[in-house]
Amino acid sequence: MDEDATLTNFKVLYVVTQLCGLTMIILVSCWVGIHLGGVGGTANPKLEFNWHPLFMTIGLIFLYGNSILVYRGFRNVRKKTLKFAHAGIHLTAFVLTVIALITVFDSHNLPVPPIPNMYSLHSWIGMGAVIVFGLQYVAGFTAYLAPGWRQALKVAYMPLHIYFGLFGFVLAIASALMGITEKALFSISDYSSFSSSGVMANSLGCLYVIFGALVVYLVTEGSYKRKPLPEDAVLLTGVNE
């Protein structure tokens, strides 16, 4: 396949991925707003919980996936600019993730009697995804944005950075699937009767899988890799050639 056709295929799949991600956010917003009673604050822990699936979907899935794709999606932008965009999107995702964690812990700790924390597989896998995400951010920032690492170390670390970035993203998708199933079983009394709330939850789970699969494919397909721009050499060597 020639280069133009490859780039056209990438652009089509990239647009499909974004549409899938936006649909995912709209669907989780509708599910929370229509079927789970909307959102609230600490005065109503049950409604405060509903920020959790919304912010996790936006932050740890949609923004995380787009941060991974930013180098290939904006291939004609200078690498230095893409580095800051990559870090900025990650930071936004991290802030939303922290808020989402606060809301879920509040929803467990504030009721009387309180609900136990961290007992489900969803919570274990989810916390694992958050830890991997956080460590990735710190390691990536110190390696590629903060001064100090030698170029040889940056090159050696890059495969690990890519692997654990994708690993954390896949963990986030897996945790989201477990979480939405857990919430549906706990909150939808007629789940087994194909109720509209249950069907919406299942559809949301399918969108998680499709979005995740598209992100992983787009970032691992070798022919879609971003080609270095001439000005990228300045970033790598510090010499204006």
Q: Which pLDDT score, from 0 to 100, does residue 1 have?
A: 62
Q: pLDDT for 133-160, tens place per residue?
A: 999 999 999 999 988 888 899 999 999 9
Q: Which amino acid belongs to residue 222?
A: G
User: If pLDDT is split at 50, 70 and 90, which confidence band does 241 have?
Assistant: very low
User: If pLDDT is split at 50, 70 and 90, which confidence band does 227 have?
Assistant: confident
Is 3 contained in some domain?
Answer: no
Between the ranges 2-11, 179-188, 220-229, where is the mean pLDDT highest?
A: 179-188
Q: Which amino acid belongs to residue 107?
A: S
Q: Which pLDDT score, from 0 to 100, does residue 146 have?
A: 87
Model confidence at 23: pLDDT above 80: yes
Q: pLDDT for 159-203, tens place per residue?
A: 999 999 999 999 999 999 999 999 999 999 999 999 999 999 999
Is 12 contained in some domain?
Answer: no
Residues 90-97, mean pLDDT to the nearest whole number: 97
Does the CA dihedral 15-82-172-47 come out positive or negative?
Answer: negative
User: If pLDDT is split at 50, 70 and 90, which confidence band does 234 have?
Assistant: low
CATH of the domain at 125: 1.20.120.1770
Query: How much is the mean pLDDT over the chain?
Result: 93
Q: Is the peptide bond before 113 cis (omega within 30 degrees of 0)?
A: yes
Q: Residue 188 in 3-state DSSP? A: coil
Residue 66, number of CB atoms within 10 A of its CB: 19
Q: What percent of the chain clears pLDDT 90, i.e. is strictly above it?
A: 87
Domain enclosing residue 222, as ranges? 23-235
Residue of 21 and 79 predicted with greater confidence: 21
Q: Which pLDDT score, from 0 to 100, does residue 224 have?
A: 93
Q: Which pLDDT score, from 0 to 100, does residue 179 have?
A: 97
Model confidence at 239: pLDDT above 60: no
Is 10 contained in some domain?
Answer: no
Contacts 24+ apart (CB under 8 A), 120-124: 120/178, 120/182, 121/178, 122/175, 122/178, 122/179, 122/182
Work out how many domains the chain is built from and give that number: 1
Q: pLDDT for 52-91, tens place per residue?
A: 999 999 999 999 999 999 999 999 999 889 999 999 999 9
Is 37 contained in some domain?
Answer: yes
Is 18 contained in some domain?
Answer: no
